[in-house]
A = this chain, B = another copy of it.
Amino acid sequence: MNPRPALVPSVSDIDRLVAGVRAGERALLARAITLAESKRADHQQAARTLVQKLLPATGKAMRVGITGAPGVGKSTTIDALGSHLTGLGHRVAVLAVDPSSARTGGSILGDKTRMAQLSADPNAFIRPSPSAGTLGGVAAKTRETMLICEAAGYDVILVETVGIGQSETAVADMTDMFLALMLPGAGDELQGIKKGLVELADMIAVNKADGDNLARARAAAAEYRAALHILSPRSPNWQVPVVTYSAYTGDGLAALWTKVVEHRDTMTKTGELAARRRDQQVKWMWSMVEDRVHGRIASDPTLTAKLPQIEAEVADGRLSPAVAVDQIFAALKW
Protein backbone atom coordinates (compact mmCIF):
# COMPACT_ATOMS: atom_id res chain seq x y z
CA MET A 1 0.00 0.00 0.00
CA ASN A 2 1.20 3.44 -0.90
CA PRO A 3 0.34 5.96 1.82
CA ARG A 4 0.51 8.93 -0.56
CA PRO A 5 -0.81 9.51 -4.09
CA ALA A 6 1.66 8.16 -6.65
CA LEU A 7 1.95 11.58 -8.34
CA VAL A 8 3.36 13.41 -5.31
CA PRO A 9 7.13 13.21 -5.44
CA SER A 10 8.84 12.00 -2.29
CA VAL A 11 12.02 13.60 -0.99
CA SER A 12 14.11 11.08 -2.93
CA ASP A 13 12.00 11.77 -6.05
CA ILE A 14 12.74 15.49 -5.65
CA ASP A 15 16.43 14.75 -5.22
CA ARG A 16 16.33 12.70 -8.42
CA LEU A 17 14.58 15.60 -10.20
CA VAL A 18 17.20 18.04 -8.87
CA ALA A 19 20.02 15.83 -10.18
CA GLY A 20 18.26 15.33 -13.52
CA VAL A 21 17.61 19.04 -14.01
CA ARG A 22 21.19 19.91 -13.11
CA ALA A 23 22.42 17.29 -15.59
CA GLY A 24 20.29 19.00 -18.24
CA GLU A 25 18.06 15.99 -18.95
CA ARG A 26 15.18 17.37 -20.98
CA ALA A 27 12.59 14.85 -19.81
CA LEU A 28 13.29 15.59 -16.14
CA LEU A 29 13.46 19.33 -16.82
CA ALA A 30 10.00 19.13 -18.37
CA ARG A 31 8.74 17.08 -15.42
CA ALA A 32 10.15 19.59 -12.92
CA ILE A 33 8.41 22.46 -14.73
CA THR A 34 5.14 20.52 -14.85
CA LEU A 35 5.43 20.06 -11.10
CA ALA A 36 6.02 23.82 -10.61
CA GLU A 37 3.02 24.62 -12.80
CA SER A 38 0.65 22.24 -11.02
CA LYS A 39 -2.17 23.81 -9.06
CA ARG A 40 -2.32 20.99 -6.51
CA ALA A 41 -1.22 22.10 -3.05
CA ASP A 42 0.98 19.02 -2.49
CA HIS A 43 2.66 19.54 -5.87
CA GLN A 44 3.24 23.19 -5.07
CA GLN A 45 4.84 22.21 -1.78
CA ALA A 46 7.12 19.77 -3.60
CA ALA A 47 7.93 22.42 -6.22
CA ARG A 48 8.95 24.88 -3.51
CA THR A 49 11.39 22.32 -2.12
CA LEU A 50 12.67 21.61 -5.63
CA VAL A 51 13.26 25.28 -6.46
CA GLN A 52 14.91 25.90 -3.08
CA LYS A 53 17.32 23.01 -3.78
CA LEU A 54 18.08 24.29 -7.28
CA LEU A 55 18.63 27.88 -6.11
CA PRO A 56 22.45 27.66 -5.72
CA ALA A 57 22.67 26.67 -9.41
CA THR A 58 20.64 29.66 -10.65
CA GLY A 59 21.37 33.30 -11.37
CA LYS A 60 24.06 32.96 -14.02
CA ALA A 61 21.84 33.40 -17.09
CA MET A 62 21.06 36.58 -19.03
CA ARG A 63 17.36 37.22 -18.52
CA VAL A 64 15.79 39.17 -21.35
CA GLY A 65 12.12 40.19 -21.49
CA ILE A 66 10.60 40.75 -24.93
CA THR A 67 7.31 42.46 -25.68
CA GLY A 68 5.55 43.63 -28.80
CA ALA A 69 2.05 44.15 -30.13
CA PRO A 70 0.43 41.36 -32.17
CA GLY A 71 1.74 41.45 -35.73
CA VAL A 72 5.14 42.87 -34.79
CA GLY A 73 6.77 39.53 -35.54
CA LYS A 74 7.62 38.50 -32.00
CA SER A 75 7.79 34.76 -32.69
CA THR A 76 9.81 35.20 -35.88
CA THR A 77 12.19 37.47 -33.96
CA ILE A 78 12.63 35.02 -31.09
CA ASP A 79 13.09 32.16 -33.58
CA ALA A 80 15.81 34.06 -35.45
CA LEU A 81 17.45 35.62 -32.38
CA GLY A 82 17.43 32.34 -30.47
CA SER A 83 19.02 30.51 -33.40
CA HIS A 84 21.67 33.23 -33.66
CA LEU A 85 22.40 32.71 -29.96
CA THR A 86 22.68 28.92 -30.10
CA GLY A 87 25.01 29.53 -33.05
CA LEU A 88 27.16 31.59 -30.69
CA GLY A 89 27.27 28.63 -28.30
CA HIS A 90 24.51 29.72 -25.92
CA ARG A 91 21.81 27.46 -24.55
CA VAL A 92 18.52 29.31 -24.89
CA ALA A 93 15.24 28.85 -23.01
CA VAL A 94 12.12 30.61 -24.31
CA LEU A 95 9.35 31.17 -21.77
CA ALA A 96 6.18 33.21 -21.89
CA VAL A 97 3.85 35.15 -19.61
CA ASP A 98 0.40 35.23 -21.14
CA PRO A 99 -2.44 35.28 -18.61
CA SER A 100 -4.90 34.82 -21.49
CA SER A 101 -3.30 31.53 -22.55
CA ALA A 102 -5.85 29.57 -20.52
CA ARG A 103 -8.22 30.26 -23.40
CA THR A 104 -6.03 28.64 -26.02
CA GLY A 105 -4.71 26.02 -23.61
CA GLY A 106 -1.19 27.39 -24.06
CA SER A 107 -0.58 25.02 -26.94
CA ILE A 108 2.98 23.74 -27.26
CA LEU A 109 2.23 22.81 -30.83
CA GLY A 110 1.45 26.46 -31.47
CA ASP A 111 4.82 27.55 -30.06
CA LYS A 112 6.67 24.89 -32.00
CA THR A 113 4.95 26.00 -35.18
CA ARG A 114 5.60 29.65 -34.46
CA MET A 115 9.31 28.98 -33.84
CA ALA A 116 10.10 26.29 -36.40
CA GLN A 117 13.89 26.65 -36.42
CA LEU A 118 14.39 27.02 -32.67
CA SER A 119 12.01 24.21 -31.72
CA ALA A 120 14.22 21.74 -33.63
CA ASP A 121 17.39 23.10 -32.01
CA PRO A 122 18.89 20.77 -29.35
CA ASN A 123 20.34 23.79 -27.52
CA ALA A 124 16.98 25.51 -27.20
CA PHE A 125 14.07 24.78 -24.90
CA ILE A 126 10.66 26.32 -25.58
CA ARG A 127 7.95 26.32 -22.93
CA PRO A 128 4.59 28.00 -23.47
CA SER A 129 2.95 30.19 -20.84
CA PRO A 130 1.46 28.34 -17.88
CA SER A 131 -2.30 28.49 -18.16
CA ALA A 132 -3.01 29.45 -14.55
CA GLY A 133 -5.66 32.07 -13.97
CA THR A 134 -4.27 35.27 -12.49
CA LEU A 135 -1.31 37.26 -13.74
CA GLY A 136 0.34 36.82 -10.35
CA GLY A 137 0.00 33.06 -10.64
CA VAL A 138 1.24 32.91 -14.23
CA ALA A 139 4.20 35.18 -13.47
CA ALA A 140 5.18 33.22 -10.33
CA LYS A 141 5.19 29.93 -12.25
CA THR A 142 7.16 31.44 -15.15
CA ARG A 143 9.66 32.80 -12.67
CA GLU A 144 10.13 29.38 -11.08
CA THR A 145 10.42 27.83 -14.57
CA MET A 146 13.14 30.37 -15.36
CA LEU A 147 15.12 29.30 -12.28
CA ILE A 148 14.68 25.62 -13.16
CA CYS A 149 15.95 26.30 -16.70
CA GLU A 150 18.94 28.19 -15.33
CA ALA A 151 19.77 25.26 -13.06
CA ALA A 152 19.57 23.06 -16.18
CA GLY A 153 22.33 25.12 -17.77
CA TYR A 154 20.39 27.47 -20.04
CA ASP A 155 22.43 30.67 -20.03
CA VAL A 156 20.03 32.88 -21.97
CA ILE A 157 16.39 33.10 -20.92
CA LEU A 158 14.03 34.92 -23.27
CA VAL A 159 10.69 35.69 -21.61
CA GLU A 160 8.07 36.90 -24.03
CA THR A 161 4.84 38.65 -23.13
CA VAL A 162 1.78 39.62 -25.11
CA GLY A 163 1.69 42.99 -23.39
CA ILE A 164 -1.86 42.72 -22.09
CA GLY A 165 -2.50 44.73 -18.91
CA GLN A 166 0.23 44.38 -16.33
CA SER A 167 1.98 41.38 -17.91
CA GLU A 168 4.79 43.61 -19.22
CA THR A 169 5.52 44.87 -15.71
CA ALA A 170 5.55 41.28 -14.46
CA VAL A 171 8.10 40.28 -17.11
CA ALA A 172 10.24 43.38 -16.54
CA ASP A 173 10.22 42.44 -12.84
CA MET A 174 11.81 39.06 -13.55
CA THR A 175 14.36 40.00 -16.22
CA ASP A 176 17.63 41.93 -16.44
CA MET A 177 16.73 43.76 -19.64
CA PHE A 178 13.42 44.55 -21.26
CA LEU A 179 13.23 44.80 -25.04
CA ALA A 180 10.26 46.36 -26.84
CA LEU A 181 9.68 45.39 -30.48
CA MET A 182 7.99 47.94 -32.74
CA LEU A 183 6.89 48.15 -36.37
CA PRO A 184 7.70 50.91 -38.85
CA GLY A 185 4.56 53.05 -39.25
CA ALA A 186 2.15 52.37 -42.06
CA GLY A 187 2.45 55.46 -44.26
CA ASP A 188 2.86 58.58 -42.15
CA GLU A 189 1.33 57.02 -39.09
CA LEU A 190 3.94 56.22 -36.52
CA GLN A 191 3.03 53.43 -34.16
CA GLY A 192 2.68 55.01 -30.73
CA ILE A 193 4.78 53.70 -27.87
CA LYS A 194 2.52 52.64 -25.05
CA LYS A 195 3.15 54.99 -22.15
CA GLY A 196 3.72 52.21 -19.64
CA LEU A 197 6.33 50.72 -21.96
CA VAL A 198 8.48 53.85 -21.87
CA GLU A 199 8.92 53.24 -18.17
CA LEU A 200 9.99 49.62 -18.68
CA ALA A 201 11.97 49.41 -21.91
CA ASP A 202 15.77 49.18 -21.78
CA MET A 203 15.91 49.02 -25.59
CA ILE A 204 13.54 49.54 -28.51
CA ALA A 205 13.96 47.56 -31.72
CA VAL A 206 12.07 48.33 -34.93
CA ASN A 207 11.43 45.13 -36.93
CA LYS A 208 10.86 44.70 -40.69
CA ALA A 209 13.80 46.94 -41.61
CA ASP A 210 14.08 45.24 -45.00
CA GLY A 211 13.19 45.91 -48.67
CA ASP A 212 10.60 48.63 -49.12
CA ASN A 213 10.27 49.14 -45.37
CA LEU A 214 13.92 49.98 -44.72
CA ALA A 215 13.64 53.77 -44.97
CA ARG A 216 10.42 53.80 -43.00
CA ALA A 217 11.93 51.66 -40.24
CA ARG A 218 14.91 54.01 -39.97
CA ALA A 219 12.65 57.07 -39.87
CA ALA A 220 10.56 55.47 -37.14
CA ALA A 221 13.69 54.68 -35.12
CA ALA A 222 14.86 58.30 -35.44
CA GLU A 223 11.51 59.56 -34.18
CA TYR A 224 11.47 57.16 -31.24
CA ARG A 225 15.04 58.17 -30.44
CA ALA A 226 14.10 61.86 -30.43
CA ALA A 227 11.11 61.20 -28.18
CA LEU A 228 13.10 59.11 -25.72
CA HIS A 229 15.78 61.78 -25.59
CA ILE A 230 13.30 64.10 -23.81
CA LEU A 231 12.80 61.53 -21.06
CA SER A 232 15.12 61.31 -18.09
CA PRO A 233 16.94 57.97 -18.30
CA ARG A 234 16.17 55.48 -15.54
CA SER A 235 19.84 54.73 -15.15
CA PRO A 236 22.38 57.53 -15.53
CA ASN A 237 24.59 54.91 -17.19
CA TRP A 238 22.21 53.75 -19.89
CA GLN A 239 20.50 55.77 -22.62
CA VAL A 240 17.77 53.51 -24.10
CA PRO A 241 18.99 52.61 -27.62
CA VAL A 242 16.65 52.38 -30.59
CA VAL A 243 17.82 49.90 -33.26
CA THR A 244 16.37 48.52 -36.49
CA TYR A 245 16.50 44.91 -37.65
CA SER A 246 14.76 42.37 -39.82
CA ALA A 247 13.71 39.05 -38.34
CA TYR A 248 13.08 37.93 -41.92
CA THR A 249 16.55 38.61 -43.38
CA GLY A 250 18.39 38.52 -40.06
CA ASP A 251 19.93 41.94 -40.72
CA GLY A 252 20.63 43.83 -37.51
CA LEU A 253 19.99 40.88 -35.16
CA ALA A 254 23.66 40.47 -34.30
CA ALA A 255 23.93 44.22 -33.57
CA LEU A 256 20.76 44.02 -31.47
CA TRP A 257 22.28 41.25 -29.35
CA THR A 258 25.53 43.19 -29.03
CA LYS A 259 23.50 45.99 -27.43
CA VAL A 260 21.92 43.49 -25.00
CA VAL A 261 25.40 42.30 -24.02
CA GLU A 262 26.56 45.92 -23.70
CA HIS A 263 23.63 46.61 -21.35
CA ARG A 264 24.49 43.54 -19.31
CA ASP A 265 28.17 44.56 -19.08
CA THR A 266 27.34 48.14 -18.09
CA MET A 267 24.79 47.10 -15.47
CA THR A 268 27.19 44.49 -14.07
CA LYS A 269 30.05 46.98 -13.86
CA THR A 270 27.96 49.66 -12.12
CA GLY A 271 26.41 47.16 -9.71
CA GLU A 272 22.93 47.95 -11.02
CA LEU A 273 22.34 44.39 -12.19
CA ALA A 274 22.96 42.94 -8.75
CA ALA A 275 20.81 45.66 -7.14
CA ARG A 276 17.99 45.08 -9.65
CA ARG A 277 17.95 41.35 -8.96
CA ARG A 278 18.00 41.85 -5.19
CA ASP A 279 15.09 44.28 -5.48
CA GLN A 280 13.23 41.91 -7.79
CA GLN A 281 13.58 39.01 -5.40
CA VAL A 282 12.39 40.93 -2.35
CA LYS A 283 9.55 42.50 -4.38
CA TRP A 284 8.60 39.04 -5.60
CA MET A 285 8.39 37.78 -2.01
CA TRP A 286 6.08 40.64 -1.00
CA SER A 287 3.89 40.21 -4.06
CA MET A 288 3.53 36.53 -3.12
CA VAL A 289 2.48 37.58 0.39
CA GLU A 290 -0.21 39.73 -1.23
CA ASP A 291 -1.23 36.97 -3.64
CA ARG A 292 -1.65 34.62 -0.73
CA VAL A 293 -3.77 37.14 1.20
CA HIS A 294 -5.94 37.59 -1.88
CA GLY A 295 -6.14 33.81 -2.20
CA ARG A 296 -7.37 33.52 1.40
CA ILE A 297 -9.95 36.22 0.79
CA ALA A 298 -11.11 34.58 -2.44
CA SER A 299 -11.46 31.18 -0.77
CA ASP A 300 -13.38 32.38 2.29
CA PRO A 301 -17.02 31.39 1.68
CA THR A 302 -18.55 34.15 3.87
CA LEU A 303 -16.43 36.79 2.22
CA THR A 304 -16.85 35.66 -1.39
CA ALA A 305 -20.60 35.96 -0.87
CA LYS A 306 -20.26 39.49 0.52
CA LEU A 307 -17.35 40.83 -1.54
CA PRO A 308 -19.17 41.77 -4.77
CA GLN A 309 -21.54 43.99 -2.79
CA ILE A 310 -18.73 45.52 -0.72
CA GLU A 311 -16.77 46.33 -3.90
CA ALA A 312 -19.84 47.78 -5.60
CA GLU A 313 -20.63 50.02 -2.64
CA VAL A 314 -17.02 51.21 -2.48
CA ALA A 315 -16.99 51.87 -6.24
CA ASP A 316 -20.23 53.85 -5.99
CA GLY A 317 -18.85 55.93 -3.13
CA ARG A 318 -21.52 54.71 -0.71
CA LEU A 319 -19.07 52.80 1.49
CA SER A 320 -15.79 54.24 2.71
CA PRO A 321 -12.85 51.97 1.79
CA ALA A 322 -11.64 52.06 5.40
CA VAL A 323 -14.98 50.73 6.64
CA ALA A 324 -14.98 48.10 3.86
CA VAL A 325 -11.54 46.92 4.99
CA ASP A 326 -12.86 46.58 8.55
CA GLN A 327 -15.64 44.36 7.20
CA ILE A 328 -13.20 42.21 5.22
CA PHE A 329 -10.88 41.65 8.18
CA ALA A 330 -13.80 41.00 10.51
CA ALA A 331 -15.08 38.30 8.15
CA LEU A 332 -11.62 36.73 8.04
CA LYS A 333 -11.39 36.91 11.87
CA TRP A 334 -7.84 38.28 11.43
Name the B residues within 8 Å of A229 (CB-CB).
227
Q: Is the CB of B58 within 8 A of A230?
A: no
Taken together as a complex, chains A and B put the C-alpha atoms of A317 and B150 apart, in Å, by: 13
User: Is A39 an interface residue, CB under 8 A from the partner?
Assistant: no
Interface 1/0 per residue, A66-81 and B, CB below 8 Å: 0000000000000000
One complex includes copies of this chain to the number of 2
Closest Cβ neighbor of A49 among chain B residues? B323
User: Is A316 an interface residue, CB under 8 A from the partner?
Assistant: yes
Q: Is the CB of A315 within 8 A of B195?
A: no
**Could you tell me the dominant secondary structure of chain A's interface residues?**
helix
Taken together as a complex, chains A and B put the C-alpha atoms of A296 and B293 apart, in Å, by: 12
Which of B281, B311, B321, B328 makes the CB contact (< 8 A) with A317?
B281
Q: Is the CB of B324 within 8 A of A285?
A: yes
Which of B55, B224, B290 makes the CB contact (< 8 A) with A230?
B224
Number of chain A residues close to chain B: CB under 8 A: 61
Interface on A for B, CB 8 Å cutoff?
47-48, 51-52, 55-56, 58-59, 140, 144, 190, 192-196, 198-199, 223-224, 226-234, 277-279, 281-282, 284-285, 288-290, 292-293, 296-297, 310-311, 314-326, 328-329, 334
Which 8 A-B residue pairs are closest in the complex by CB-CB distance? A192-B232, A227-B230, A285-B321, A278-B315, A227-B227, A52-B320, A48-B322, A288-B325
Q: Contacts A51-B322, A281-B314, A284-B314 known; list 15 others, CB within 8 Å.
A: A48-B326, A144-B322, A192-B233, A195-B199, A224-B230, A226-B226, A226-B227, A227-B227, A279-B315, A285-B310, A288-B322, A288-B325, A290-B293, A292-B325, A296-B334
